[in-house]
Amino acid sequence: MRQRSALRQYELRFGPNMTPMVDIVMVILIFFMAGTTIMGPEWVLRSAVPVRSGEGGEGDATPRVQVVLALRSIAGRTVVTGSTLQQASVGEVGPWLERFVRGAGAAEVVVLIQPAADVPYRDVVAVHDVCEHAGAASVGLIDAEPAPGASPP
């Protein structure tokens, strides 16, 4: 009869040791779970798509005014145009939009933001935030226009 040694027992095992991989996966899982609890709702850009007339639903009963704010980058500066607003800076949008919402005479004002491809994202978020604070019923983003001289995808 043969004696079993530690070396002989080790040689009987086959396959890789999975313990280190399980440990690493658990650490990564805990990291992502902890990371997602830190991210709050202020990190997510809330956007609503307006209801088109004729599709039914509650949106057809209330009168709506729709405003498209186009964001363009001119000489490294973001300018906003829309309705009666012409070549305004991002800071001038808030007071104009508050006056527009008060004078619209509609139950709801829907604002659609249309940024050009070369507009910095921080300016898009700033205009979105200003629209919410001005009292717009819903704020949405529509397709960006390509930058001047850019080839279509």
Contact 111, 147 (CB under 8 A): no
Taking only the tens place, the pLDDT of each residue in 77-111 is 989 988 788 888 888 888 888 888 887 765 688 88
Interatomic CA distance for residues 108 and 124, integer angstroms: 22
Q: Is the pLDDT of residue 138 over 70?
A: yes
Q: Is the pLDDT of residue 153 over 50?
A: no
pLDDT at 63: 64
Burial of 107 (0-12, 13-18, 19+ CB in 10 A): exposed
Count CB-CB contacts under 10 A for residue 41. Answer: 6
Domains and CATH numbers, the chain: 6-38 (no CATH), 58-141 (3.30.420.270)
Interatomic CA distance for residues 20 and 108, integer angstroms: 58
| Mean pLDDT in residue range 111-118 | 88
pLDDT at 83: 78
Taking only the tens place, the pLDDT of each residue in 3-58 is 777 777 776 777 777 888 999 999 999 998 888 766 655 555 666 665 555 544 55
pLDDT at 27: 95
